């Protein structure tokens, strides 16, 4: 059951986080001599420790929209009219740039 839960969560990772997970799992299993199931579970925890929002399915990016610098929330790859600058941490963006609360609106 635990392995099924780990696999379900791994399936929700984006490509970059999946690569990090696979690297960490391999290091734990082969270099750390941990059993595969344990190595995979701990590797998933490693990813979540480094990127707490990895399972949300939402990316937070600093972007330029029609020349204005803004924060963008994306659930897919539809980035029309956005020039992506860098990925950001959702909690940090809301806390630092919006004083702890933000309203969302669709792209014009």
- In order along its 108 residues, the chain shows pLDDT tens digits of 567 888 888 888 888 888 999 999 999 999 999 999 999 999 999 998 888 877 777 777 777 777 777 777 776 655 555 565 666 677 777 888 778 887 777 666
Instruction: Compute CA 63 distance to the chain's CA centroid, rounded to the nearest angstrom.
Output: 17
Q: Do residues 46 and 63 share a domain? A: no
Token pair, residue 32, equals: 């750390």
CA distance 67 to 101: 24
The reply to whether 15 falls in a domain is yes
Q: Do residues 40 and 77 share a domain? A: no
Q: Do residues 42 and 79 share a domain? A: no
Q: Do residues 37 and 73 share a domain? A: no
The reply to whether 27 falls in a domain is yes
**What are residue 68's DSSP bridge partners?**
65
Looking at 11, 33, 50, the residue that finishes a domain is: 50
Q: Do residues 6 and 46 share a domain? A: yes
Range of the domain at 88: 59-97
Q: Do residues 17 and 43 share a domain? A: yes
CA distance 104 to 106: 7
The reply to whether 105 falls in a domain is no
Strands 59-65 and 82-88: antiparallel
Tally of structural domains, the chain:
2
Q: Do residues 30 and 63 share a domain? A: no
| pTM of the entire predicted model | 0.63
Please give the backbone phi and psi of residue 82, each rounded to the nearest 5 degrees, phi first: -105, 135
Q: Do residues 10 and 41 share a domain? A: yes
């Amino acid at each position: 059951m635990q392995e099924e839960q780990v696999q379900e969560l791994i399936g929700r990772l984006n490509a970059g986080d999946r690569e990090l997970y696979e690297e960490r799992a391999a290091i734990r299993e082969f270099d750390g001599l941990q059993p595969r199931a344990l190595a995979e579970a701990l590797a998933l925890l490693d990813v979540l420790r480094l990127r707490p929002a990895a399972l949300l399915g939402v990316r937070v990016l600093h972007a330029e929209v029609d020349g204005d610098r803004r924060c963008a929330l994306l659930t897919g790859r539809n980035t029309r009219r956005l020039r992506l600058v860098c990925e950001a941490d959702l909690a940090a963006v809301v806390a630092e740039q919006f004083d702890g609360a933000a309203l969302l609106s669709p792209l014009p």
